[in-house]
Amino acid sequence: MAGIGFELKKLFARNGIILNVRANLYASLVVAGPTIMGGVLLLGAKFVSGLGGASNHQQDLIVVIITYSLLFSLLLSSLLLFVLARYVADMLYIKAYERILPSMYGSISLLLAVGAVLWSLFLLFSKVEFRYGIFSFILFSEGLMVWIQINYVTAIKEYRSILIGFMIGILLGLGVGLMLVMLKLDVVASVLAGACIAYGILIVDFAFVLHKFFPIGSGNPFRFLEWLDEYPHLLFIGFFSTLALFAHLMIMWASPWGKSVVGLFYYAPQHDIPALFAFVTSLVTTVNFVTSVEVNFYPKYRLYFRLLNGNGSLNDIERAHADMMEVLKQELLHLAIRQVFVTIFSVIVIGEVLVYFPLGFTSVMIGTFRVLAVGYGAYAIGNSLMLFLLYFAGNEDAMWSVIPFLLINVIGTVYTVTLPEAYYGFGFVAASVIYYLVAESRLFSYTARLDFFILTKQPVFLAKKRGFFSRLVGRLEPKPAEKYPSAAQ
């Protein structure tokens, strides 16, 4: 996010309506581009298979295989995403650039080793045809690599080339799928092959960009595991927040709306399609978090910590803290106002327009979209508050903001499934509202005593934590005195 912020400052520094529109458009593409392109891949795959004469069952099979492969690869990789983000930030701070790429390949290797076993077992019991299972396995493995690469890509500034690579990958993948379909080959296998090619192109593009900025590096590729001992909450934050975001979808697959496409591959189109469109309405907050919050808040944040870590007087530090909190509150208010406006617009206007899309929206699906749009709006604000807690290193508070979101989402969705279908989606709404309230309470409670938390958490005598993962890394590569400090340093 900081890298994007630096780039945006150059754009927003120029005056003029057209230049401001350009900066906002750029931020939207950078932040929402991957999500939108993922949706384009799913809709494009359905369209291409339709051109090839695929039956409804075949089209559904393509969509669920792509969805399951990418969704569960994201869930597995989420265990390390926040930890790796912290590790990369620390390596950039101490200028240990040669340790960045080895950690990426180490994390990918670890996830592939675990994921290959888990996904193979799932496919074994899923009863899907072997050839389709091969494509699912490839796409799952590619998904693991792409999610990890994206985490590292945020540390550099070549966002235009990355977005272009994303667009080229998806479009070429769909093009290859269409060509194979036109050659009268198996429709399902053709489209899945195109999806695999699309993500393969992304992997190559991201690797090229990353190697352009970072050296190949050296050292233990699993050194990042030591950060799990130092920051254990980040592992749970990453996994719980990702699981909470998709838990209601997976529960609905087992609801009366759920259908089995083949074996263990379920879906609930009456819920999934409205959920996809409702989620898009929350992207306005994600984009604004980068534009207005990152660009306006970060200078105040940096000044406060520079005074705290340097020679700032007590009066200067207190003034900087007050200014930072004032900007934080202003930006959160603006963030909430924009999201509320978009949510109301979505409920009133977009809800009426969706029925004209050739996606089979019924009155029940329109109602589900409206309910979920409210839920995703509350989620977007709550997630922004949680991210601010991570900014201030309030990792434990961030974790205890995410846990109620997950629990209430699961319990609430399971309960609403037992009610009439008019109540579907309200479990997610309740969970999102609780997420927002808990995250807001913890953020402002934490920042009110920020000086205390920062100063009292520093050890009197510096000691490296030797937990399970640190000992494991030590066994993997015994080495002499280190050139760079560990996570504890």
Q: How does pLDDT run across 131-179, given as a tens digit for each residue?
A: 999 999 999 999 999 899 888 887 665 666 667 777 888 889 889 998 9
Look at residue 411 and tell me whether its pLDDT is greater than 80: yes
Name the pLDDT band for 405 (thresholds 50, 70, 90). Answer: very high
pTM reported for the whole predicted model: 0.86
**What pLDDT, on the 0 to 100 scale, is given for residue 1?**
41
Query: How, if at all, do strands 259-262 and 265-267 pair?
Result: antiparallel
Work out the pLDDT band at 357, boundaries 50, 70, 90.
confident
Higher pLDDT, 30 or 127: 127
Query: Which pLDDT belongs to residue 6?
Result: 43
pLDDT tens digits along 365-404: 899 999 999 999 999 999 999 989 988 888 999 999 999 9
pLDDT tens string 232-286: 999 999 999 999 999 999 999 988 999 989 988 999 989 998 998 899 888 888 7
Burial 63-84 (b: 16+ CB within 10 A, else e): bbbbbbbbbbbbbbbbbbbbbb
Percent over 70 (pLDDT), the chain: 85
pLDDT tens, residue by residue, 199-235:
998 899 888 888 888 888 877 888 889 888 888 999 9
What are the C-alpha distances in Å from 36 to residues 26, 145, 248, 385, 437?
14, 19, 21, 23, 28
pLDDT-derived band at 410 (thresholds 50, 70, 90) equals very high
